[in-house]
Amino acid sequence: CHTMRNLLFLRLALLVLVLPAVSLAMTAEEGWEHAKTVIDRIKAPTFPIDADRDITDHGAVGDGITDCTGAFKAAIALAHSSGGGRVVMPPDGVFLTGPIVLLSDVNLHIPKTSTIRFKQDTASYLPAVRTRWEGVELMNYSPLIYAYRQENIAITGGGTLDGNANATVWWDWKYGPQDAGRARLFQMATDNVPVHQRIFGDGHFIRPNFIEPYRCQNVLIEDVRIINSPMWVIHPTF
């Protein structure tokens, strides 16, 4: 399991891309000075105060059985359309859901004693979305928590995110079943097949990542506990 104890500003990952390019025209000392200016530009996302949207107001029940997918979607849409805020849930609950798609200006806030548990039905993660797998773009199962071209988003609160993967759900695809899909994907990339035509999902056994902000800006992931991921845990993609 993974416990995020420190702020994770995903735009920091840009330094991995920026610094090598900068170093071609700068000395090492100048490059690190430039890095400081990049870091200084990074600010934590902020959200309106007293703008919480409770998923139980949209039908969620924290019994670990009720499907709360629609409730998460409705609360996120309301927070986004109302100028931003936190999407929250009561403490001591287990909220079962399919993929969660974050929108700009939304903070998914999980209380320390609550759990968001993701469904084991792989079909719940379709239709396919634009994602990456081992560095190659494709259309595949949605990551469990996904955002595409959004900004000012966060996952906070100290609670648990349980991907619900195990030896018979998601993980068993790694050893054998995924091989043909993997080879097909890499060949498509070699042949420059357009991404929107690299359609995978059902029958190809390409596992989704857990948290994937794709081409997003100003992302914060803080204090949450992440367990049982189908594949890579936090996968910021630019």
Instruction: Write the pLDDT tens digit of every residue in 188-205.
Output: 999 999 999 999 999 999
What does the alpha-carbon distance between residue 28 and residue 17 come to, in Å, rounded to a whole number? 15
* Cβ atoms of residues 115 and 93 within 8 Å: yes
| Average confidence (pLDDT) over 169-179 | 96
Q: Is 53 exposed, middle or buried (0-12, 13-18, 19+ CB in 10 A)?
A: buried
Predicted pLDDT of residue 42? 84
| Average confidence (pLDDT) over 31-56 | 91
Instruction: Write the pLDDT tens digit of every residue in 101-112.
Output: 999 999 999 999
Hey, which residues does 198 pair with through a beta bridge? none
Element (H, E) at 189: helix 178-190
Q: In 10 A of CB 109, how many CB atoms?
A: 21
- 5, pLDDT greater than 50: no
Torsion-angle region of residue 203: left (phi > 0), alpha (psi -120 to 50) or beta? Answer: left
- Give the residue carrying structure tokens 């990551």: 143
Cα-based torsion angle of the residue sequence 223, 214, 105, 81 in order, rounded to the nearest 10 degrees: -140
The pLDDT confidence band at residue 43, using thresholds 50, 70 and 90, is confident
Alpha-carbon torsion 154, 122, 117, 80, what sign?
A: positive
Gyration radius of the chain's alpha carbons: 19
